[in-house]
Chain A
């Protein structure tokens, strides 16, 4: 191993380089910075009014969409938006709902009526169903769902609208900063290698092998504990999960394209070396070059 290599030094250099590339078009603000806004602009999140002057309250990037101006933070806690796909873990089972940890300020709620059982549709819930549903998801289970609504006090209500969402089965959960996952139309991605992804907007990314027979179900491979994943598919799943970690370590955008590119470049390395700092650096630099070539920094 190269002992002169230090991950911290390369990470600083890379992050600085990445920010320099992005900062051609972006305006980075810090808390307390005065923003010279027009009078008819609408202030969004991250901006408050102090003595008639607009001041930012978070570190982040100033974005403007028509008349709405807000600051997207580079850190902090995930604030949910309606329609986001999230992956959360059950922390409590209550009378008629589950409480989920989605790395936000409050725990999200998933009512029994908003949870859809696979294969069963359009049925009302009664008392027996409620008792049965309490044991369906226990503490520690993972669920993917959509944000249904957000109340005034910040409570987030989830729903599993179709069979694509629901209880997750065998796979690997990777936690990344939430601002690396950009909102897009495709948060459920199937790779040709047989590995599927759920890119949660809250930073939880679920990497799992999918069964070609039941490829649309959220459970993935199988709900049977004894049905083992084939070895090659399992190793590919582990490699994909580590590729997501590589992108997160170097603060690169995480979407289906960048993960596929990272997987291609990591094929040249052995699986047991994939978490070594030189390998992480080489793969990340190659992905960064590909992102520059494809114009991902010139929007």
Chain B
């Protein structure tokens, strides 16, 4: 069994002293994040899927579009639904469902899942104005609804960052068949798949990323692992919107006149400790710097995966032509 025990006093002091010298126990500096790996198209039974591993944390996102029949005019909340599951083997703190506890209190996994759903709704709420919902509408009564399932397979810190990257990748992978609505007698509406079997894609570059900035002593850390996360008293999660970063684009936070109030959509303080105003400013700056770097890396990884996917599809097409 995996016990999540606290360390001894001298062990903690050694770690704090290392962090004060800008060297963490895995060698990174305080502002270094762990490089993500993105895999698209991992699940063939859905129309879009992605998996992101980031320093031991592992999040899988699966998108299953459904056709819903509505009786009223749809709002933006009807187009995407989010569900989050934290696996019990991801972290010992999630293995608390069904525990026979006499002490009343909410389960850690349920709390974490609901906070994640709130973060995803905040992400979607921030981009609903730029998103084009015309493809989601099939007829006056039928719409596509994207059911987004998020599963946390491993939690080694930075799960919200990992989840945001995986959602961005999943929407890059999604392909929805085009549905044509036809009029049948007596006012009924029939739905047919286009005979050309064409697909439409979502704009994935709208989806924002999240950076978690942790406060440990007087230092600000990004991308804490599970070991450091035990001693974090307060943390600040920054969500940031940005367009797709092309190759060669280098975003430097100091050089650009960045309007923060128009792009930060999510800021959440967690854990029991408080934060001073100056710390919030420093952590916000650090979070924005790291998120802009992550945008460059994540978008390049997504484009590489999409390029591989196109090559694979072309091979299948050529094989079909050969048989004919």
Q: Which residue of A lies closest to B35 (CB)?
A: A1
Binds A, one of B9-17, B117-125, B129-137, B145-153: B9-17
Q: Complex: how many Å from CA A272 to CA B29?
A: 6
Q: How far is the CA of A245 from the CA of B9 in the complex (A)?
A: 23
Q: Is the CB of B9 within 8 A of A1?
A: no
In the complex with contacts A234-B18, A238-B18, A272-B28, A225-B9 CB distance below 8 A: yes
Q: A3-B304, A140-B7 are in contact. Are A225 and B35 (CB under 8 A)?
A: no
Asked if A284 CB lies within 8 Å of chain B CBs, one says no
Is the Cβ of A275 less than 8 Å from the Cβ of B5? no
Bound form: Cα–Cα A89–B32 in Å: 30
Select the stretch in A51-59, A118-126, A166-174, A185-193 that faces chain B: A166-174
Residues of A71-121 contacting chain B, CB below 8 A: 89, 91, 101
A271 and B23: CB pair below 8 A? yes
How many A-B pairs fall under 8 Å by CB? 85
A239 CB–B CB distance under 8 Å = yes
Further 15 A-B residue pairs, CB within 8 A, beyond A138-B8, A234-B14: A3-B304, A140-B8, A171-B11, A171-B14, A172-B11, A173-B11, A238-B24, A238-B26, A242-B26, A245-B26, A272-B23, A272-B27, A272-B28, A275-B27, A275-B34
Query: 25 interchain pairs (CB within 8 A)?
Result: A1-B35, A3-B304, A4-B304, A7-B37, A91-B5, A139-B5, A140-B6, A141-B8, A142-B8, A142-B11, A168-B10, A169-B10, A169-B11, A170-B13, A170-B14, A171-B11, A173-B7, A229-B17, A238-B25, A238-B27, A245-B26, A271-B27, A272-B29, A273-B27, A277-B35
The B contact surface, by secondary structure, is loop
Q: Which residues of A contact B (CB under 8 A)?
A: 1, 3-4, 6-7, 89, 91, 101, 138-142, 167-173, 223, 225, 228-229, 231, 234-235, 238-239, 241-242, 245, 271-277
Interface size on B, residues (CB 8 A): 28
Give the interface of B toward A (CB within 8 A): 3, 5-11, 13-14, 17-18, 21, 23-29, 32, 34-35, 37, 297, 300-301, 304
